[in-house]
Chains A and B, each alone.
Chain A
Amino acid sequence: MTTITESAVRRRNGPDWWRWTGRLFLVLLLGFTVMPMVWMIITSLKTGFAAMQYPPQWWPAEPTLQNYTRLLDPSGRIGQDFLHYFWNSLWVSTITTILAVVVAVPAAYAFSRFRFPGRNFLFFAVLLRNMFPAVVFLVPLFILMKALGLVNTHGSLILTYLTFGLPLAIWLLKGFYDNIPIQLEQAARIDGATRFQAFIYIVMPLSTPGIIATSIYSFIGAWNEYIYAYTFLTKQSQMTLPVGIQRFFSENATDWPGLMAATFIMSVPVVVLFLVLQKYFVRALTEGAVKH
């Protein structure tokens, strides 16, 4: 009895220290994550000379968009290369995403609805990949890709990204299908649909949020991946953005403003995608957490 009264009194009087400590912690965390991004944008607006100044210019004295125009100018050499990398990344990520959805949707549906021999084993086998760091597979996959003649092709990356992205995609989507009452499909089948039509007309539309979340996840994974792209691709013309951007390090001295501008442009598609579709993403991650 006494303890309850005491804590109640304490809650009413004076500031809530726990709450303020928590807020302070969140502010620090926010600064920690946002600062590098802010610094990236600020640096990308500086000239090469200004970027190297010490003490640093907190705000560019002569802000310039020259780094961006250089990167996006198709007539210049740097612009040509950059746009080429951008296109490569877009191509690899988009194809990966499409294939991931094409494979994950039926796979997740099968895991959710059918009872077949080896179902549990297969399901956990799918997840097994996620229990090892990606680097572990670097050498074996490289040897495999070499044997398949896929080194220096985008196919090698698409295949690799698929194997990395699919486990979570299938897991996520299975959760979605588990939550769709089987009676809906049964009703559709009685109403005159084949099993496939019931899936297309009734189940698919209901799992759209899951499919969108899966797509974002695959796309971002493929878009940001560096190690495999660096290992599998040696030809300049094939390189994706994360690898291609490296060139700003090597040529003469590091072109920091150029690098930052390139990084910023690279992050734009992901951020836009996420902002537009984030409500689906959150819904997908929390789906099934509580019973409706």
Chain B
Amino acid sequence: MAGIVLQHVMKTYGNMYAVNDVSFTVNDGEFVALVGPSGCGKTTTLNLIAGLLPMSGGDISIGNRVVNDLDPKDRDIAMVFQNYALYPQKSVYKNLAFPLQMRKLPKEEIDRKVQDAAKLLDITHLLERKPRELSGGQQQRVALGRALVRDPAVFLMDEPLSNLDAKLRVQMRSEIKRFHHNLNATVVYVTHDQLEAVTMADKMAVMNGGLLQQYDTPANVFSNPVNTFVASFVGSPAMSLIPLEAAGNSLRSPEGWELPLSPANVRKAAGSTTKDIVLGARHSTLKLHKSAVPGSVPGKVYTVEPTGDVTFAQVFINGAVVNISLAPSVVIAPDEMVWIEFDQDRMHLFDGATTMALQAA
């Protein structure tokens, strides 16, 4: 096992920056998720680590060895692809054996390792089948098996769960997590599903437009998003963002109401480059009132979605949709006027012009 270091990694196509100056370090044994919307450069970054694409600039090291000019086969990595990329003409056994054969291992050792991997993933009974005769979940296991049979320094996974149905995805999610735990493997995992990233990863790298937005533990990314993009991307339902204006010790809405700020938040708001400030709040930090209370702002209910143990409501405040979670006992109807109370300690303020999070000076 080994760590990975990316330094100022660039990938350009013409004058399009697919990956723009991305630097981060994956420690030995860490599970890192690369997450972002499609086209954000996460898969390109993974392919650069794998060596499947030539870099336009920067350095990548795996286990203290600069691998910039090494072929994929010499980087001591294994990869699980979104479409599994099982060799269709080979049986499961031969799929698992292929990486070992390419490394010219003796036959007995190949057999032993293939059997071990098959046992670990519970696919021993499938060894003689062809990939097309397997279900999606079984193919996924074989793909994992082909990756781990060689005991590589680093595992790279490109959206390995996105072709599975919802139920299987949750099951495989825990299996991959368990697999990482048992092998103490270094894993770089690409996904567009922030929930996968949050639930599985030790650290997550949020990317957008080829740029690394934030690289931190899921908990920190969740509680301290660096900008409005990260804030709205991570968490489900997403953090609600309301564009407002700074006015002394409060935030003013064009609709006329004002929201007084705590002293700490006033200091944060003072750091904004312009008067425009975006107020961010997660659904669980908001309180709903049927009449005005101090520190609350008016809104109109848009939809109500009961899920059983919690009810989600969407409320229009100042033209922005605000998600709020409620106890199932709360009864509200669409178009009802409500008042939303913000938690001053858990609200987020962003610079309206730069979209960056405002910190207390």
Residues of chain A whose beta carbon lies under 8 Å from any beta carbon of chain B: 181, 183-184, 186-194, 197, 201-202, 205-206
Contact = CB atoms under 8 A, between A and B. Distances in A.
A136 to B, nearest CB: 40
Contacts of A193: 73, 102
Contact of B72 (A183, A186, A201, A206): A186
Contacts of A184: 85, 87-88
B78 A190 contact: yes
B98 interface: yes
A194 B99 contact: no
Contact of B81 (A183, A189, A202): A183
Name the 9 nearest CB pairs between A and B, nearest first: A192-B102, A183-B85, A191-B99, A187-B85, A189-B72, A183-B81, A192-B73, A190-B72, A190-B79
Interface in B37-96: 47, 50, 52, 71-73, 75, 77-79, 81-83, 85, 87-89
Contacts of B146: 187, 191
B103 interface: yes
Given A190-B78, A194-B73, 17 more contacts: A183-B81, A183-B82, A183-B83, A183-B85, A184-B85, A184-B87, A186-B52, A189-B71, A190-B50, A190-B77, A191-B73, A191-B98, A191-B102, A191-B146, A193-B73, A194-B71, A202-B87
Question: Considering residues A184, A192, A197, which has the most beta carbons from chain B within 10 angstroms of its beta carbon?
Answer: A192
A181 B89 contact: no
A192 B87 contact: no
> Among the interface residues A187, A188, A201, which one has the most CB atoms of the partner chain B within 10 A?
A187
A194 B103 CA distance: 11
A181 B102 contact: no
Contacts of A194: 71, 73
Nearest to B103: A192
Nearest to A180: B88
Interface string B132-146: 000000000000001
Interface residues of B, number: 23
Contacts of B77: 190
A205 B88 CA distance: 10
Contacts of A188: 87, 98, 102
Interface of A is mostly: helix
A186 B48 CA distance: 12
Contact of B73 (A181, A183, A189, A201): A189
B141 to A, nearest CB: 15
Contacts of A202: 87
B2 to A, nearest CB: 16
A183 B50 CA distance: 12
A183 B103 CA distance: 20
B85 A181 contact: yes
17 contacts: A181-B83, A183-B82, A184-B87, A186-B50, A186-B52, A186-B85, A188-B87, A189-B72, A191-B73, A191-B98, A191-B102, A191-B146, A192-B150, A193-B102, A194-B71, A197-B102, A205-B89
A184 B146 CA distance: 13
A186 B84 CA distance: 11
Contacts of A205: 89
B88 A206 contact: yes
Contacts of A192: 73, 99, 102-103, 150
Contacts of B71: 189, 194
A183 B160 CA distance: 13
A70 to B, nearest CB: 48
B76 to A, nearest CB: 10
A51 B85 CA distance: 63
Interface in B141-187: 146, 150
B153 to A, nearest CB: 12
Contacts of B99: 191-192
B182 to A, nearest CB: 22
Interface in B91-124: 98-99, 102-103
Nearest to B156: A190
A151 to B, nearest CB: 46
Nearest to B82: A183
